[in-house]
Amino acid sequence: MTGRDAPAPASVTFAVVGGFLGAGKTTTLAALARELTSRGRRVALVANDQGDDLVDTRLAEAAAGWAGEVTGGCFCCRFEDLLDVVTRAVEEYGADTVLAEAVGSCTDLQATVVRPLHRRYGARFRVAPLLTVVDPARFAAIGRAGEADLAYLFDRQLADADVIALNKADAVDPALSAAVRTALAALHPRTPVLTYSARTGTGLPALTGTLTAPPTGRDRDLVIDYDRYAAAEARLAWLNHTAEVRAPRSAAGFPSARWAATLLAELTAGAALVGHAKVHLTAPDGRTTKASAVGDGRAPAVDADGGAMRSARALVNARLVCSAGELDAALAAAVRAADAAAGAATSAPTRPAAFHPAYPRPVHRLPAEPPPR
Ligand SMILES: Nc1nc2c(ncn2[C@@H]2O[C@H](COP(=O)(O)OP(=O)(O)O)[C@@H](O)[C@H]2O)c(=O)[nH]1
Ligand SMILES: [Mg+2]
């Protein structure tokens, strides 16, 4: 990291971004980081997960001047870890803007993260409005997936938002986009909805503008049933896995995008619902390949293709509705299929060890203050 001697800025903008798995939070934060950096801001990104070995941290490192992570639990349950990481971003790098991505299965962020930051650390941080990033295709489909608790969790993420950030405008049929906006206006009439594309940048300046506005969600309490929230998270099997991929028979290497896309297609084929499955490959010379499957019925998206690789370190992060044992078995089968498709041979220092997220127990849970009379 650079900038160890940079002075701590007087006021640090701190934005927490939530939203369901695969909505485009990391892509959005990377786009915001590039945009703000081009305006001279010193931007730090913070990734977050129930496990460690995060694809998102790799992406954040590529997009921002400083990247950190909070692992082993969500921001609300690891609040002190979040503060430690942000303090490092400010002290080591001189960050004036910190963008923190919450776990995609997390909600109630106003009460457990935004309000505690504002009330207890408001002298250090100017806390921005809470953004909930939404994939319109997921919004349209979640009610039909037969997963009532996950649909409830998704809705509570929307209800918690100061601003609903309706992403993927480039990929969504305009009629669907209009229908989703109409439905959101009916369900959450007080919450502004911004339509944009993190991929193309369309609509991004308006989203950037929200970072300087005061939050509005502090004056109302989210009605939430933690048992349902916990049940929803527990529906998901969660796996972070590291492996070494080699090309034993080809001097040219193995086609890394084909390996990644085959792995994800096989991994997600049997799941009742795909939250998000992603794979990130890094070659020794630094080239990277990244692919994602977000349960939108489409083939896995190859977001970056580093081409043929002689060897690579692969990081797989998967959140699927199935049992942990099924996910472990699915990964082993998917690796075999990917190796066969790409002429590769994969080995791993440890066996896959999927788990289900534990019951959420936030460190803080502060009620809203009544609005001033
Ligand atoms: N077409 C399109 N795809 C997007 C956009 N934003 C994100 N994605 C894709 O959606 C997938 C999940 O994105 P990611 O940022 O990792 O989602 P997260 O789980 O919410 O952090 C990736 O394949 C992204 O490339 C967008 O604006 N348009
Ligand atoms: Mg992410």
Q: Rounded to whole angstroms, how far apart are CA atoms 2 and 72? A: 27
Q: Amino acid identity of 162?
A: D
User: Among the atoms of ligand 1, which is closest to the Cα of residue 22?
Assistant: 19
Q: Which helix (H) or strand (E) holds 47?
A: strand 43-48
The alpha carbons of the chain give a radius of gyration, in whole angstroms, of 20
Q: Ligand 1, atom 12: nearest CA belongs to which residue?
A: 22
- pLDDT value of position 372: 66
Q: Distance between CA 337 and CA 70 in Å, rounded? A: 32
The yes-or-no verdict on residue 2 having pLDDT over 50 is no
Looking at residue 4, its pLDDT comes to 45
For residue 6, pLDDT beyond 70: no
Query: What is the per-residue pLDDT across 189-228, written as a single tens digit (0 to 9) for each?
Result: 999 999 999 999 999 999 999 998 876 655 789 999 999 9
For residue 370, the model assigns a pLDDT of 73
- 348 or 1: which leads in pLDDT: 348
User: Ligand 1 pocket, 167 CB below 6 A?
Assistant: yes
Residue 322: name the closest of 357, 264, 274 by CA. Answer: 274
3-class state of residue 160 by DSSP: helix
- CA–CA separation, 340 and 88 (whole Å): 44
Atom nearest to 101 CA in ligand 1 = 21
Beta-strand pair 163-166/66-70: unpaired
DSSP 8-state class, residue 111 = I
Cβ–Cβ contacts within 10 Å for residue 365, how many? 13
Q: How close is the Cα of 259 to the center of ligand 1, in Å?
A: 20
Report the nearest-CA residue for atom 15 of ligand 1: 24
Q: What is the pLDDT of residues 284-309, one digit of tens each?
A: 999 999 999 999 889 999 999 999 99
- 19-33, 144-158, 203-217: least confidently modelled range: 203-217
Top mutation candidate among 55, 292, 298 for ligand 1, by most atoms within 8 Å of CB: 292
- Report H helices in 64-121: 79-93, 109, 115-121
Pairing of strands 308-309, 254-255: antiparallel
Place 1 in a pLDDT band, splitting at 50, 70 and 90.
Answer: very low
Burial of 113 (0-12, 13-18, 19+ CB in 10 A): buried
DSSP state, residue 112: I
Q: What is the DSSP string of 219-250?
A: GSPPP--HHHHHHHHHHEEEEEEEEEEE-TT-
301 lines ligand 1 (CB under 6 A): yes
Q: What is the pLDDT of residues 44-59, one digit of tens each?
A: 999 999 999 999 999 9
- As a whole number, mean pLDDT of residues 95-124 equals 96
Task: Share the mean pLDDT of the chain.
Answer: 94
Higher pLDDT: 105 or 218? It is 105
